[in-house]
Amino acid sequence: MMRIDVSKAAQLLKEQDKIIIICHESPDGDTVGSGFSLGRALKKMGKKVKILCSDPFPKSLLFITENFENDEFENGYVVAVDVADNKLFGSKLEEYKEKTNLCIDHHQSNTEYAQNLLLRADAAAAAEVVYDVIKALGADISGDIAQGIYTALATDTGCFMFSNTSAHTHRLAAELIEAGVDFAAVNQRMFETKTPGRVAMEKMVYNDLEYYFDGQCAVICITQEMLAKADARTDELEGLASLPRQIEGVKVGITMKQQEDLESFKVSVRTTDEADASDICRLLGGGGHAKAAGCRVYGDVKQAKEQILEAVQSCLK
């Protein structure tokens, strides 16, 4: 593994004529926006490009993935974008796991699986790094390319809301807006569109929302029965886990998601400064960070809830 900078990455890409770009499984706006913007830029330079992902690209990102034709070729130079660990290549791309020539990423936790690694851990999104690479390639950032980069930035920062946003992120957004990105349309698609399945889930979740310990703890429980009834896919649940903690006065927000075996729950815990999520999850055999942690709890809804609330109670100051 060799750490490289932007100009070296651009140089390596210039030398290739067949390039395979890999997005991580359960693809999000950053891996897709980064992958397709890089891919389109390389195509403009006359290179043959394939973009691969173990999972289908989400319908919500169709505006980025449409009108892109994968070229036909066998072996190519393998570039992973926004992929912290080659485990995230997913089952369909096993064959590339040990063959990554270049990885462009922003995760501190990158496992350094690639031959060449361009890592900038202070970047809000991999797209911030990809943007610099595309510039270094001499391609101009406009049209679909600018739109993909903007979408990636907006996705990973919650539309510039989260603490990972930097002054640099905002200045990049300014340049992309000047390049003509219809950012309002992108944001409406990304942040202001709910599928009927999502709406049905939110309705059920609100109805089952429970408060404990004088409103210091809020719990939502997503059962397989609810998912079936709402006809909702897992990717339609994104962000629901943060809902309980958003309620004023709630110090510990719990989201329980029943697994398909019906015998266990994946539990995510979100807390304010007044409680430690990792302490709570450690008591239940899990772990994580002070404000966001997770664990798995076994039993039916009632049994699982009891175990969780016991752990919460012992950690509430």
Interface contacts to a copy of itself, rule CB under 8 A: 158-163, 165-168, 170-171, 173-175, 177-178, 183-184, 187, 191-196, 199, 202-203, 206-207, 209, 215, 242, 246-249
Taking the C-alpha atoms of residue 292 and residue 252, their distance in angstroms, rounded to an integer, is 10
Find out whether 238 and 253 touch, Cβ atoms under 8 Å. Answer: no
At its nearest, how many Å lie between a copy of itself and the CB of residue 243?
8
Cβ-Cβ contacts under 8 Å for 161 (sequence gap 6 or more): none
73 or 206: CB nearest a copy of itself: 206
The 10 Å CB-count burial string (b at 16+, else e) for 167-181 is: eebeebbeebeebeb
At its nearest, how many Å lie between a copy of itself and the CB of residue 303?
26
92 or 171: CB nearest a copy of itself: 171
Q: CB-hemisphere CA count at 13 Å for 207?
A: 8
At its nearest, how many Å lie between a copy of itself and the CB of residue 85?
26
Instruction: Count the Cβ atoms, other than its own, within 10 Å of residue 207.
Output: 9
| Among 261, 295, 254, residue whose Cα is nearest residue 278 | 295
8 or 120: CB nearest a copy of itself: 120
91 or 207: CB nearest a copy of itself: 207
At its nearest, how many Å lie between a copy of itself and the CB of residue 220?
11
At its nearest, how many Å lie between a copy of itself and the CB of residue 140?
17
Residue type at position 53: C
Sign of CA dihedral 211, 158, 57, 84: negative
16 or 166: CB nearest a copy of itself: 166
Q: Please report, to the nearest 10 degrees, the dihedral formed by the alpha carbons of residues 147, 150, 151, 152 taken in order.
A: 130
At which residue do the structure tokens 């990809």 appear?
130
Question: What are the structure tokens assigned to 150, written together?
Answer: 């903007």
At its nearest, how many Å lie between a copy of itself and the CB of residue 155?
12
DSSP assignment letter at 257:
E
At its nearest, how many Å lie between a copy of itself and the CB of residue 285?
29
205 or 311: CB nearest a copy of itself: 205
138 or 239: CB nearest a copy of itself: 239
